[in-house]
Amino acid sequence: MSNPSGVPADKLPRHIAVIMDGNGRWARERGLPRIEGHRRGSESVRACTAACMEAGVPYLTLYAFSKENWQRPADEVGALMLLLDRFLAERTAEIMERNIRLRAIGHLGDLPDKARRRLEDTIAKSANNTALTLTLALSYGARTEIVDAAREIAREVKAGTLDPETIDENTIASHLYTAGVPDPDLLVRTSGEMRISNFLLWQISYAEIVVTPKLWPDFAKEDLFAAMQEYARRNRRYGGI
């Protein structure tokens, strides 16, 4: 039976990361409030999750809210937090039914109490699910993540539990928020912007990057399948010939 993505199983990325961009532009082009773009974008989250599950991709990480996003107008930030809370309230049953394990990375303590508690509850409920690991990056910044890792490593050296001469790439990786999850093979960015935007800077060192002009609310299952197909056509040399 052929894979619905059109990609042979041995050519599929194991981990896809997505920078979900273009919600505000999508709303502006239609004369709608920005939050309507974010609301419609939540449907694209479902589409991408379904695409990964149908194709057999076991890890999906979505850049949902950056550390820098707190600088946006207070009413937009408040609406986004309500949207996160509503998304979890409406989708937790579906997450459980579809055997999805939910994770979150970032400074989760920055989130409003109600949204954070609901997030923690869904994470706990889904901890033993196995079909797909869906990670939401919330109040996340890659530079902050690396600083946090460096601080923890420094504490261990100071405490005498870590020899600085033994520090290597694996040491740093094991202190990142993503410890225990394989690095992304494929990074997708919507809306045509050619930026990484402080997302998984360490982890995407060797990821293939696919940029699509589609705005995030218009991004459908077929678009992620197309990105997987582009990934499968590439020759990943990791610095070799």
Own/partner long-range contacts of 106-109 (Cβ < 8 Å, ≥24 apart): 106/65, 106/67, 106/137, 106/138, 106/139, 106/140, 106/141, 106/145, 106/177, 107/67, 107/139, 107/140, 107/144, 108/138, 108/139
Summarize the confidence of residues 142-150 as an average pLDDT.
98
Q: What is the CATH number of the domain that holds 39?
A: 3.40.1180.10
Identify whether 1 is part of a domain: no
Q: Which domain holds residue 49?
A: 14-142+184-231
For residues 150 and 121, the answer to whether their CB atoms sit within 8 Å is no
- How many domains are there within the chain? 1
Q: Determine the distance from the C-alpha atom of residue 26 to the mean position of all C-alpha atoms in its chain, rounded to a whole number.
A: 20
pLDDT digits (tens, 9 = 90+) for 91-135: 999 999 999 999 999 999 999 999 999 999 999 999 999 999 999
pLDDT digits (tens, 9 = 90+) for 120-129: 999 999 999 9
What pTM value is reported for the model? 0.96
Supply the pLDDT for residue 165: 98
Buried b / exposed e over 10-37, threshold 16 CB at 10 Å, is eebbebbbbbbbbbbbbbeeeeeebbbb
For residue 178, name the pLDDT band (cuts at 50, 70, 90). Answer: very high
Summarize the confidence of residues 222-229 as an average pLDDT.
98
Identify whether 168 is part of a domain: no
Cβ neighbours for 199, distance < 8 A, ≥ 6 positions apart: 17, 19, 63, 66, 137, 140, 142, 187
Identify whether 218 is part of a domain: yes
Identify whether 155 is part of a domain: no
Is pLDDT of 228 > 90? yes
Identify whether 3 is part of a domain: no
pLDDT digits (tens, 9 = 90+) for 20-78: 999 999 999 999 999 999 999 999 999 999 999 999 999 999 999 999 999 999 999 99
Supply the pLDDT for residue 161: 98
Q: What is the mean pLDDT of the chain?
A: 96
For residue 85, name the pLDDT band (cuts at 50, 70, 90). Answer: very high
Active site residues: 21, 69
pLDDT above 90 covers a percentage of the chain that reads 96
Summarize the confidence of residues 200-205 as an average pLDDT.
98
